[in-house]
Chains A and B, each alone.
Chain A
Amino acid sequence: MNDQLAFLNRLQQVEFALVELQLFLDTHKDDQRALMEFNQYSKQLEMLKKQYELQYGPLLNFGFSPSQYPWRWLEGPWPWEQVF
């Protein structure tokens, strides 16, 4: 697995943990430990995304991710070209 795919995989892992913690918190709003982990991973995700976009280009289009020069949205590999 190359570095970019490994990075994407790490992003997916953190995002998945956040989905799980979100669903748990929806029914356990007073669970401080779950909330603490949620906020911790949320911060981590933000940092990982920023770092990923600096190295490999935008994750989102239409203004949700900034781009360096030259316009990096056109760079591959595209999602359907990734082999996990």
Chain B
Amino acid sequence: MYDIHQPAMPMPGTRPAMPMPAMPMPGMPMPHYSIYPLPFMPYCVKMAHAYVPYQCFTNSYPLNEALQKGTYFPELYQPYMPEKKLGGLADNE
């Protein structure tokens, strides 16, 4: 199991799979290392492993909009849109 608390040191002579920190997806918040104990993504991601980015609190919807959309966090608002190919991201994301 990859330990996300401890940045993995690449083996001598090998290069990390990706530069650190990992590039966030468009619309995703940048990591806040100062207040969060975990990075947004592991420092050195391995190919063919699945990761869940660590959520950071950046902004929030007004309360009426949050109830209507089903989430308080804009980065989690991903309504299912089968006609779109980009993971169903909303127009405004």
Query: Which of under 10, 10 to 19, 20 to 34, or 35 or more describes the interface residues of B?
Result: 10 to 19
CA distance A17 to B73 in the complex (A): 10
Which of B57, B66, B73 contacts A31, CB < 8 Å? B57
- Binary interface encoding of chain A residues 40-60 relative to chain B, with 1 for a CB under 8 A from any of its CBs, else 0: 000000000000000000000
Are B72 and A21 neighbours in the complex by a CB distance under 8 Å? yes
Q: A20-B73, A21-B72 are in contact. Are A28 and B64 (CB under 8 A)?
A: no
Contacts of B64 in A (CB 8 A): 9, 13
Q: A30-B37, A32-B35 are in contact. Are A17 and B72 (CB under 8 A)?
A: yes
Interface of A is mostly: helix
The answer to whether B55 touches A28, judged by C-beta atoms less than 8 angstroms apart, is yes
CB–CB A31/B72 < 8 A:
no
